[in-house]
């Protein structure tokens, strides 16, 4: 009998790619949970195989009334992921309380619970980017989105639940099905769009003496790798705790921009622009996932190199993908 799977945020960027990966291995008994709203996110579900769709509000109502039925695995990826969202009450409810409710339901009903934390919990990196549990209480996120994810990590830690569930901290993910994210799209998609319209890419100037313009560093992760690592954690019941999900390699924004130009067979044209004031206090200048715990858990797959991932993604966009 096929597993009964729930994917919250299933019409979103990582969620829809996860469903595609599940389909590839024959899994289609999937309940997609999302809030489709009025944007173009519904396009992400086209061509995917799943059993049913449920709106987020209806899902939460049934969750609270314990009338959902059953599930073998729950991938909880649904959240507001905007790092500039300022409605703290909304984020606390949508990202934190919803996660608590769903986690408790999974534990009561024996469902494997995999949830998305975030690399935004690491803040400015002062405490490093290791995912050991004794580090969680010391982290200081720079924005409310990151803190809403930190709130749930702390809730699970304080209740001793991280030996029963698995959290995954995605770093800078890029790839197909992200067009609906608008300002929260990856810089790969934004660069592709800017080059088509203006012939050049605009990057933020640096306001930190250790980093020249465009040399701020990020760990970029192709979404296909994000989906694969997420399924690995679901499949391995002993892989519990919180795990970084990144390539383990950092690159500059200039590296990324030049790779996009190369994939489009164009010479780089890059302009540096002022960073908005409200971002300057909350900006991460360097991230790099420590993936040693993911490796210790048994994940051996190699991550797609940045230039190769960008070439594949630009090919997808050239073919009309979103």
Catalytic residue among 145, 170, 222, 313: 145
Closest residue by Cα to residue 129 from 137, 119, 138: 119
- For residue 273, the 8-state DSSP code is E
Distance CA 310, CA 260 (A): 6
Contact 168, 229 (CB under 8 A): yes
User: What is the rounded CA–CA span in Å between residue 15 and residue 13?
Assistant: 6
Three-class DSSP category at 276:
coil
Catalytic site residue from 56, 164, 181, 200: 181
Q: Are 145 and 120 in contact (CB under 8 A)?
A: yes
Catalytic annotation on 283? no
Angle at the Cα of 41 from the Cα atoms of 38 and 46, rounded to 5 degrees: 125
The tokens of 282 are what? Answer: 């909350």
Closest of 265, 251, 132 to residue 195, by C-alpha? 265
Q: What is the distance between the alpha carbons of residues 52 and 299, in angstroms, rounded to a whole number? A: 31
Strands (E), 58-183: 73-76, 112-116, 166-170, 172-174
Annotated active-site residue 149? The verdict is no
CB 73 within 8 A of CB 114: yes
Phi-psi region of 231 (alpha: psi -120 to 50; beta: other; left: phi over 0): alpha
User: How far apart are the C-alpha atoms of 106 and 4, rounded to whole Å?
Assistant: 13
Would you please indicate which residues are annotated as catalytic (active-site) residues?
145, 181
């Amino acid at each position: 009998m096929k597993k009964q799977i729930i994917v919250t945020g299933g019409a979103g960027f990582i969620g829809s790619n996860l469903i595609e990966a599940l389909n590839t291995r024959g899994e289609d008994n999937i309940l997609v949970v999302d809030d489709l709203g009025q944007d173009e996110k519904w396009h992400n579900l086209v061509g995917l195989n799943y059993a049913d769709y449920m709106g987020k509000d209806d899902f939460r109502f049934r969750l609270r009334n314990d009338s959902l039925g059953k599930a073998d695995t729950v991938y909880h990826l649904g959240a507001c992921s905007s790092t500039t969202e300022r409605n703290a009450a909304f984020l606390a409810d949508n990202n934190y309380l919803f996660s608590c409710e769903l986690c408790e339901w999974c534990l009561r009903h024996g469902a494997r619970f995999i949830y998305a934390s975030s690399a935004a919990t690491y803040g400015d990196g002062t405490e490093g980017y290791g995912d050991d549990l004794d580090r969680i209480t010391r982290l200081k996120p720079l924005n409310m989105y990151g803190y809403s994810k930190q709130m749930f990590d702390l809730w699970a830690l304080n209740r001793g639940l991280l030996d029963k569930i698995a959290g995954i901290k995605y770093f800078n993910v890029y790839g197909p099905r992200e067009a609906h994210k608008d300002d929260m799209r990856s810089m790969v998609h934004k660069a592709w769009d800017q080059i088509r319209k203006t012939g050049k890419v605009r990057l933020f100037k640096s306001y930190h003496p250790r980093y020249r313009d465009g040399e701020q560093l990020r760990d970029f992760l192709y979404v296909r790798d994000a989906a694969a690592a997420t399924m690995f954690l679901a499949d391995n019941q002993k892989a519990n705790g919180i795990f970084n999900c990144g390539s383990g390699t950092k690159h500059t924004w200039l590296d990324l921009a030049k790779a996009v130009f190369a994939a489009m067979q164009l010479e780089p044209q890059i302009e540096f622009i002022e960073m908005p004031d409200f971002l300057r206090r909350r900006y991460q200048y360097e991230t790099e996932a420590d993936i040693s715990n993911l490796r210790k858990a048994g994940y051996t797959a190699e991550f797609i190199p940045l230039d190769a991932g960008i070439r594949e993604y630009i090919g997808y966009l050239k073919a009309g993908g979103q």
